Amino acid sequence: MRRLVILAAAVVIASQASAGTIERVRDTGVFRIGYRADARPYSYQDANGRPAGYIVDLCRQVAAAFGPDIRTEYVLVRAGERFDSVRDGKVDILCDPSSVTIARREIVDFSLPTYLDGAGVLSRRNDPVRRFEDLAGKRVGVLIGTTTERLLRDSLQSLGLTATVVAVHDHRNGMQLVENAKLDAYIADRGILAAMLRQGNRPGFALSKRYFSYETYALALPRDDSAFRLLVDKTLARLYRTGRIKAVLAKTFGNAPLDGMLNALFVINSLPER
């Protein structure tokens, strides 16, 4: 009898693993959104510990496409483990500022693009960083396992610059290390750095005006699940095509005019329904 119970459980688990995301969500009644604690304004925990941010709001639009009978479950993921969480089935969709790369597409699939950003450098105002060469001899922090970490290390090597690279696990920790003079600079997505400065009201910091890279964000999805990717892309394309994306953006960024490159991104991805 015990063997029969174990066998039945194994069959159920195997069936769930082989089912597509849409089928699994409808069978369980739960849609699992992976989000980050520290990637404001895109994906973060607000003052009450609730998921918030522009990209989290996009995923709520995807959740709504399943209908009112599906419950949304939010799963907090660390930056260095976020793609594994999609690959291993811990979340159904990753809703954070994930840059699309070929190497990452070996682990996960990606939706239509959701945003454009790029790396900036945070430093103290009395010793600002305006270009890569200004990092020579400095202690530079970066979030571990990100495209920005690879950019930093590769750029220092190609330019023949010597700097101490300190990998951290949390953007807030990186800023704190700069504030406490344990780091000279911190490099990360510029939108995230700007949001931390606005939130913390730190007048002693300088944020580089230059972008040190350009990053295309998208939602990370399970590989080889074309039906689910189509549902996600249809949801995003409809937002872009109808202009409803402006209301989603305004909730996080206010009503400032769209950047030209971002507006072009939305136009390009406003795919027709038929």
Q: CB within 8 A of 35, min separation 6: which ones? A: 43, 44, 51, 53, 56, 59, 74, 75, 76, 77, 95, 96
Q: CB within 8 A of 271, min separation 6: which ones? A: 112, 233, 237, 241
pLDDT value at 6 more than 70: no
Of the listed ranges 2-6, 120-124, 195-199, the one predicted with least confidence: 2-6
What tokens does 176 get?
């704190």
pLDDT for residue 16? 44
User: How would residue 201 be classed by pLDDT, with cut points 50, 70 and 90?
Assistant: low
pLDDT for residue 200? 66
User: Cβ(44)–Cβ(171) under 8 Å?
Assistant: no
User: How would residue 257 be classed by pLDDT, with cut points 50, 70 and 90?
Assistant: confident
pLDDT for residue 2? 54
Q: Taking residues 197-218, report their average pLDDT.
A: 86
Buried b (16+ CB within 10 A) or exposed e, 81-118: ebbebbeeeebbbbbbbbbbeeebeeebbbbbbbbbbb
3-class DSSP assignment, residue 103: coil
Angle between helices 226-242 and 245-253 (to 10 degrees): 80
pLDDT for residue 198? 81
Tens of pLDDT, residue by residue over 85-115, are 999 999 999 999 999 999 999 999 999 999 9
pLDDT value at 173 more than 80: yes
pLDDT for residue 108? 98
Of the listed ranges 60-69, 119-128, 135-144, 257-266, the one predicted with least confidence: 257-266
Q: CB within 8 A of 96, min separation 6: which ones? A: 34, 35, 36, 39, 42, 43, 55, 77, 79, 82
pLDDT for residue 15? 42
Q: Taking residues 167-187, report their average pLDDT.
A: 93
pLDDT value at 256 more than 90: no
Q: Is the peptide bond before 68 cis (omega within 30 degrees of 0)?
A: no
Provide the β-strand partners of residue 211.
none
Tens of pLDDT, residue by residue over 128-159, are 999 999 999 999 999 998 999 999 999 999 99
Provide the β-strand partners of residue 34.
75, 94
User: Cβ(164)–Cβ(12) under 8 Å?
Assistant: no
pLDDT value at 80 more than 90: no
Can you give the pTM of this predicted structure?
Answer: 0.82
Q: Which residue segments constitute the domains of the chain, with CATH numbers given?
A: 2-117+216-268 (3.40.190.10), 119-207 (3.40.190.10)
**Residue type, position 193, single letter:** L
